[in-house]
Structure 1
Amino acid sequence: MAQLIQAAHARATSDDPLDVLDAVLTLARDVSARSDAAVDQAVRQAREAGYSWTVIGERLGVSRQAARQRYADRLAQAPAPIGLIRGRDLEAALAAALAAAEADHLAEAGTEHILLGLLTDGVAAATLEQLGVSRDKIRDASHRLFDYPSEPTHEGRTVFSAEAQAALAGAEQLATERTPTCEPVAVTTPQLLAVVATNPGSRARRVLNDLGVDVADIKRLLHCYINVPRTPFGRRSRRGRPGKKQADRCSFCGHARSEERRLVAGPDVWICSECVAMCSEILAQSTEAGT
């Protein structure tokens, strides 16, 4: 439940309880649909392993005929789901987070270390830097807020804390909810930053509060990457009311054209000035890093 609430806070358009409620309801529907898809996949695997509809029906608590009627056509039509993968930026961030926890002589890396790791590369790094967050500031705030041992107190490999693992699960849920069903689910740094920053009780959120960072600014900058409703084929639906011309919108963040938000046209797509600016910052950061 905590993971869903974190994902809902990241998805909501504001911290208003009604907006959060809308986000929770949307996530609940998505989780239900994903659960059904998981059952379909398990039934598919059982059939491919040679189990009869009679045996499968017994496990499902229904008759052979009911199991076959419910799943046979669905398995014939639906493709096997594509797995979840982690982006390179996220892998680099997680490795940096574990290294930061080891440097603090800790057995577990918390969400404050994830925050440090997110400054390594990608959209999350560009977002935090735009808000004036640096590694030194995060370290100083973490050592003010939390007690760290001065000497190593454990042997063996550093692992992620329960809170950090819950944040990763929340990021996976958020990525899954926002990925077209025909594509692999790629978890990247924007989802993880959104989850750790919008969880009011997380250590990362406490660090951001200490630094005076407005979480609403983080959500605004990440909007293009975590909050764009998509169709099963990965594009925002262009259909509206019959006979009514739809306003031109950015294909990335979904915002309509306005005096403040200019749009650049491409082949069947648009991109707004804010998304162009964010892309420029990310590319500039990669160039400076020599990548």
Structure 2
Amino acid sequence: MSPEPTVDQLIQAAHAHAASDDPLDLLDAVLALTRDVSSRSDLAVDQIMKQARDAGYSWTVIGERLGVSRQAARQRYNDRVAHTPATLGPVRGREVQAGLAAALDAAEADQLAEAGTEHILLGLLTDGVAAATLEQLGVSREKIRDAGHRLFGRPTDPAHTGRPVFSAEARAALAAAERLAAERTPGCVPVTVTTPQLLAVVATNPGSRARRVLNDLGVDVADIKRLLHCYINVPRIPFGRRSRRGRPGKKQPGRCSFCGHPRSQERRLVAGPDVWICSECVAVCGEILARPADAET
């Protein structure tokens, strides 16, 4: 779990988000930041409370955990739980969180106020599928750092100290990765943003700083798409619906429920109850399962 932000970090974030350095603008910014943290904390409590109620726990048991009476717990949370959605939207996986922390570390090392998509690209080399993909294409942290300095320069007299924040471009990339996760995650499982999805977003945006770094390093983005295809090409629809497309009563050829490719002579499918998996996805699963259990995150 990330540590609670310090006073200095909140003030630095307020400076980054405020309209100006006027104390009143800074006051507006810091109030907005603290309200956002408080709101997200309340939403987290409400969602876990809903999970507890859905699991069959009584208000008496929940009240005991809260240190209040059954009546007090019910009065405080009953209406809130009733209006709490099943999920709060896409969740960033642990490998994504580690990559984003590494991106901020890289920007902080250069004494920058903001971390851009080039820093996200560097952070994605921390762990996971995105790291393996970039390493396979000969991309390293040192190469990304050198290309970023060459393309975007370095501050000759850095004035910023402390933790940077993500740039507008980087925040837009994170939002796009969340949308991609929502679109490509099967409807029966929680939506989690993964490193392949985030890499696909930052690498395929022609105007992004990350794409400019990859171009400078001679990396063909088509190779990234090819290597990530099996990890992100899963439309968010209930399993089995693909087989019922077309005219009623006409049997359709099966498609892999994971990558979406149709059955062919080269791509054989293993069928389950309204689910199929192709030989290539089976091979990927075999590689994942062959890893030591303690290496999984």
TM-score above 0.5: yes
Q: Taking every aligned residue pair, what percent have the same amino acid on both sides? A: 77
Residue correspondence of structure 1 range 44-83 to structure 2 within 5 A: 80-83=85-88
Change beyond 3 A, Cα 1:235–1:154: farther
Give ranges in structure 2 of 5+ residues lacking alignment.
Answer: 1-82
Residue correspondence of structure 1 range 137-152 to structure 2 within 5 A: 137-149=143-155, 152=158
Q: Please, which of 130, 133, 152 is the counterpart of residue 124 of structure 1?
A: 130
Residues 208-238 of structure 1: per-residue CA shift (max 9 Å, x gap) = 111222222222332233332232x355532
Q: Please, which of 88, 98, 102 is the counterpart of residue 94 of structure 2?
A: 88
Matched with 1:48 is none
Contact kept in structure 2, 1:105 and 1:150, CA below 8 Å: no
Contact kept in structure 1, 2:184 and 2:232, CA below 8 Å: yes
Normalised to the residue count of structure 1, the TM-score between the two structures is 0.63
Structure 1 vs Structure 2 CA RMSD: 2.9
Q: Please, which of 89, 103, 106 is the counterpart of residue 109 of structure 2?
A: 103
Change beyond 3 A, Cα 1:243–1:225: same
Residue correspondence of structure 1 range 214-229 to structure 2 within 5 A: 214-229=220-235
Per-residue deviation, 1:112: 0.6
Secondary structure of residue in 2 paired with 1:212 = coil
CA distance in 2, matches of 1:206, 1:282: 31
Q: Please, which of 208, 211, 224 is the counterpart of residue 205 of structure 1?
A: 211
Matched with 1:114 is 120
Contact kept in structure 2, 1:105 and 1:148, CA below 8 Å: no
Larger displacement relative to structure 2 (148-157 or 132-141):
148-157
Give yes or no for the alignment of 1:238 onto 2:243: yes
Matched with 1:160 is 166
Contact kept in structure 1, 2:104 and 2:119, CA below 8 Å: yes
Residues 20-54 of structure 1: per-residue CA shift (max 9 Å, x gap) = xxxxxxxxxxxxxxxxxxxxxxxxxxxxxxxxxxx
Matched with 2:7 is none
Change beyond 3 A, Cα 1:184–1:245: same
Change beyond 3 A, Cα 1:149–1:283: farther
Change beyond 3 A, Cα 1:119–1:273: farther
Contact kept in structure 2, 1:101 and 1:158, CA below 8 Å: yes
Matched with 1:254 is 260
Residues 37-93 of structure 1: per-residue CA shift (max 9 Å, x gap) = xxxxxxxxxxxxxxxxxxxxxxxxxxxxxxxxxxxxxxxxx9934212111111111
Q: Which structure is larger by alpha-carbon Rg, 1 or 2?
A: 2
Normalised to the residue count of structure 2, the TM-score between the two structures is 0.62
CA distance in 2, matches of 1:236, 1:207: 40
CA distance in 1, matches of 2:277, 2:252: 16
